Amino acid sequence: MTAPRACPCRDCCLDGAPDQIARMVHDLSGIVIGPDKGDILRARFQRRARLLGLKTLAAYFDLIAGASEERDRFISLLTTNVTGFFREAHHFDLLARQIMPGLDRIGRRINIWSAGCSSGPEPWSIAMTLQGHCAAMARRTRILACDIDAAVLHKARSGCYGADEVTGLSAAQINRHFCACGDGPLRRWRVAPPLRGMVEFRQLNLHDVWPGLPAFDVIFFRNVSIYFDPPAQRRLWQRFHDQLRPGGWLLIGHAERVPADLQHLLRPAGLTAYRRPDQNCEAVP
Ligand SMILES: C[S@@+](CC[C@H](N)C(=O)[O-])C[C@H]1O[C@@H](n2cnc3c(N)ncnc32)[C@H](O)[C@@H]1O
For 38-86, write each residue's pLDDT tens digit. 888 888 999 999 999 998 888 998 899 887 789 999 999 999 999 999 9
CA angle at 233 for the pair 213 and 72, rounded to the nearest 5°: 65
For the chain, what is the domain count?
Answer: 2
Question: Is 108 part of any domain?
Answer: yes
| Ramachandran category for residue 201: left, alpha or beta (phi over 0 → left; psi -120 to 50 → alpha) | beta
Question: Is 285 part of any domain?
Answer: no
Residues marked as binding? 81, 83, 87, 122, 147, 205-206, 222-223
The residue from 45, 78, 111 where one domain ends is: 78
Give me the CATH number covering residue 122: 3.40.50.150
Q: Report the alpha-carbon distance of residue 65 to residue 72 in Å, rounded.
A: 11
Q: Report the alpha-carbon distance of residue 22 to residue 34 in Å, rounded.
A: 9
Asked whether the beta carbons of 144 and 175 are under 8 A apart, the reply is no
Question: Is 181 part of any domain?
Answer: no
The residue from 34, 53, 78 where one domain ends is: 78
Same domain for 106 and 218, yes or no, is yes
Question: Is 265 part of any domain?
Answer: yes
pLDDT recorded at residue 116: 98
pLDDT tier at 144, thresholds 50, 70, 90? very high
> What is residue 251's three-state secondary structure?
strand
Q: Report the alpha-carbon distance of residue 113 to residue 57 in Å, rounded.
A: 36
Same domain for 54 and 130, yes or no, is no
Q: Report the alpha-carbon distance of residue 18 to residue 57 in Å, rounded.
A: 11
The residue from 27, 50, 78 where one domain ends is: 78
Give me the CATH number covering residue 56: 1.10.155.10
The pairing of beta strand 160-162 with beta strand 188-191:
antiparallel
Q: Report the alpha-carbon distance of residue 108 to residue 2 in Å, rounded.
A: 75
Of 3-7, 158-162, 230-234, minimum mean pLDDT range: 3-7
* Ligand 1 binding pocket mutation candidate from 147, 165, 228, 235 (most atoms within 8 A of CB): 147
Residue 199 predicted with pLDDT over 90: yes
Question: Is 186 part of any domain?
Answer: no
Question: Is 284 part of any domain?
Answer: no
CA of 270 from ligand 1 middle (Å) equals: 23
Of 122, 169, 118, 119, which Cα lies nearest the Cα of 143?
122
CA angle at 93 for the pair 237 and 126, rounded to the nearest 5°: 65
Same domain for 71 and 113, yes or no, is no
pLDDT tier at 1, thresholds 50, 70, 90? very low
Question: Which domain, by its residues, includes 203?
Answer: 90-160+191-275
Residue 4 predicted with pLDDT over 60: no
Asked whether the beta carbons of 151 and 76 are under 8 A apart, the reply is yes
CA of 226 from ligand 1 middle (Å) equals: 10
pLDDT recorded at residue 282: 52
* Ligand 1 binding pocket mutation candidate from 71, 118, 209, 236 (most atoms within 8 A of CB): 118
pLDDT recorded at residue 268: 98
